[in-house]
Structure 1
Amino acid sequence: MADIDEDTVAHYFYKGAEVEISSKEEGFQGSWYAGTVLSHRKSKRNSCMKVLVKYKTLFKDDGTRRLREEVDVLQLRPAPPPENRCSFESSENVDAYYHDGWWEGVITEVLREDKYKVFFRGSREQKNFKASQLRRHHEWAVGKWLPPFEPGFDKSPPLKRPKGVSMSTKVKPKKKTADNNFSPGTTIKIRSDEDRCQDASFAATSVKKSGPSEVSVATEVKSNKERILNNFCPGAPVEVSSDEDGFEGAWFPATIVKKLRKNKYLIEYQTLRNDNDTEFLREEVDTSHIRPCPPDIELLDRFEVLEKVEALYNDIWWVGVISKVRKNDKYNVYFRSSDEELGFNHSRLRAHQEWINGKWVFPSQARDL
């Protein structure tokens, strides 16, 4: 985890600074609550800075006094400036105001009367919201808002890459297919190279052209074999997420061993070993933490700044955002959960997709919002 020095804390999280606070508690990941900084200090146990905050919308049990709490500085970000946004689009990343806080989600449907259906990946729930209850989602990345706010709002210093950090490999990038040019609205099919999924074709709709190579991008991907989407057969390759601290946004390759009971499966990790290192680790996992292997999208020959991706690091796929495009098909990727920025080769990245209600959905790329 990257350290934040005292100068950075003093610059952004000084006494009286307006901030938003995230939570490490189970069931509250992806939520942000407004607050004010009261003081900060350096932890005696480690080098992490501790900040005392007072919440604006959360109160103590008696309901008469605002809650105060000491949190890690990595749980904070400056209060984002207001934006005048009257409407949103399907697949757009947003924050929804719910239960006195802002919750990260993605719009799955545009309803009538200025309402939207929002999906929350952490709880696997969908709820309806008015436009006035939504805001465009931004990431606070190494002292800068991504995507940036309108000119005049974002006064943050330029994004800096930590020294001595690079996980780039010499593997050649995937074959470019820029000649495949699909107009918006075109129905296309995508096939997976994964075992157990080779007989499945995925129906998708081209919604726009993206990137300098004018490559079409699909917004929704559906399988024509429902058993692959809704039921996991023994031996099926899957990916598994975790609620453990430090593994937010991580997807572990695994294999279904068997179904135990409703909504529960026994899985075997493909890269994690047991304590004795004698065999691969097996674990009981709820279906809310399991998704099929994402279809391989060969349409993208490159990524761009602010694009949400998944990076293969230590045999695990981590959700991040492109912070810099480098030469020779290399990129810097920022990971919010650890506040780190690492370098990757194109071949170690893939387009980020959300598994929502039995279908694959591409969140809107931040640069297009």
Structure 2
Amino acid sequence: MTSRKKRAARVGLFIFLLLSCLGGLLAFVVLVDIPNRVAERFGPPAEELSLPERLYYAWALFLNESKLHAPSNVEDDKVIFTIGNDEPTSVIIQRLKQSRLIQDEEAFRILLVYSGLDRGIKAGQYELSPTMDGIQVAHALQKGGRVEITVTILPGWRAEEIAQALRLSGLLESESQFLKIVRQPPAWEVLKTLDYPLSLEGFLMPGTYIFRRGMTVEQIIAQMVERFAQTLTPEIREGFARQGLSLYQGVILASIVEREGIVKEEYPLIASVFLNRLRAGMKLDSDPTVQYALGYDAHLNTWWKNPLKSEDFKINSPYNTYINAGLPPTPICNPGLEALQAVANPAQTSYYYFRAQCDQSGRHVFSETYEQHLSEACP
């Protein structure tokens, strides 16, 4: 009897140890192995999930993985999928299924919750394709939701400022791509009508644009130059000629007027001052040309240093109109329509000087003589 009891005890111990091992193995699989596998394939779970939720959604994702990797359709017809403001995630998932953009609603919902992507879906338009799998669709819905991107380019911006605005809007990967083309323009047909400028600085028309996501840098720049060419009407061209200016010279002067002026109704007066100076053989003495020559000021975080110091006016640059007579070699910014029209149709004045009024209004006081100009200085 004793030996039987011993054998039974050994069997019981073996079964206990076996069950303990199986339990440990099962616990390892449940608590460690499967969650780790899912994390490797789908990334870590959302931090907001509790431990039981992480385990549940990791297992659910593991069991539904095949439904997420396969595209819902092999056709390559792209679909514009629109998500409304405050639209519930459940409704979005249902519509994705109805549009044949996902294969399984529940599997897609599990992926969104596990990854925390359900909180990153934004209203807007998305360009999706049935050939995308569920994982690709889920991440595509996090990218801002805009097929078309609206960008406003302000008059008076130089090319670097435009490049920055385009990059921040998500249209450019790097500003250097944009600037390289601006400084070395391709042989576009439109440039024939603009007398083949050596640089596109000055010919990037300010205004509001709607660019389609995925456009190349060349297409973006070409659209801006095309609009400039359309803005440069025969009347403006003829106006430049009446002032004794070539097309390029007219754009250069317009760029200076754009940076000098604040109140647009003063643009024709400012243009008249510079034209009078050019005809008299005087230097233009324009602060913005010095600012352009100085370039980016890292301390002030601007391309247009203000105020300028006395040593700034001594910078050795062809753009410094305090030491060089005539126009600078290229435009110093991209002028708007009002500045172009002001140069083409300037006010008829005998002014040679102007300075800012003392009331901070942005307006200027115009003078015929240097003595009068000095007398208008602020106290």
User: Which bracket does the TM-score occupy, shorter chain normalised?
Assistant: under 0.3
Higher strand content, 1 or 2: 1
TM-score computed with the length of structure 1 as normaliser? 0.22
TM-score computed with the length of structure 2 as normaliser? 0.21
Which is higher, the Rg of structure 1 or of structure 2? 2
Higher helix content, 1 or 2: 2
